[in-house]
Amino acid sequence: MPVRLRKFIGTILIIVLVLVYALVANTIAVATLGNAPWWGHLLYFLLTGMLWVLPAMVIIKWMAGPRQQ
């Protein structure tokens, strides 16, 4: 697969990932953190704010393609 096509598909996948992840994370927050203290909200959103990077890293590595030697 050409690198340009990989990057295009990867970009679309990352956009979809971020949108779906944000919707799911906020839905879980609304359902479970209603009466939680402020630090509970802070911890939850710090964790979920950084957790999306893991699947995005996999997509970015795939976008780069196989390593040339």
Residue 36 inside a domain? The answer is: yes
Please say whether the beta carbons of 65 and 26 come within 8 A.
no
Our count of domains for the chain comes to: 1
Please say whether the beta carbons of 59 and 6 come within 8 A.
no
Residue 16 inside a domain? The answer is: yes
Task: State the residue range of the domain holding 34.
Answer: 3-63
Task: List own/partner pairs for 46-55 with CB under 8 A and 24 or more apart.
Answer: 48/21, 52/17, 52/18, 52/21, 55/17, 55/21
The whole-model pTM stands at: 0.81
pLDDT score at 59: 95
Residue 10 inside a domain? The answer is: yes
Please say whether the beta carbons of 7 and 63 come within 8 A.
yes
Distance of CA 61 to the CA centre of its chain: 14
Q: What is the pLDDT of residues 32-50, one digit of tens each?
A: 998 999 999 999 999 999 9
Per-residue pLDDT for the chain (69 aa), expressed as one digit of tens each?
888 999 999 999 999 999 999 999 999 999 999 899 999 999 999 999 999 999 999 999 999 887 665
Residue 68 inside a domain? The answer is: no
Residue 39 inside a domain? The answer is: yes
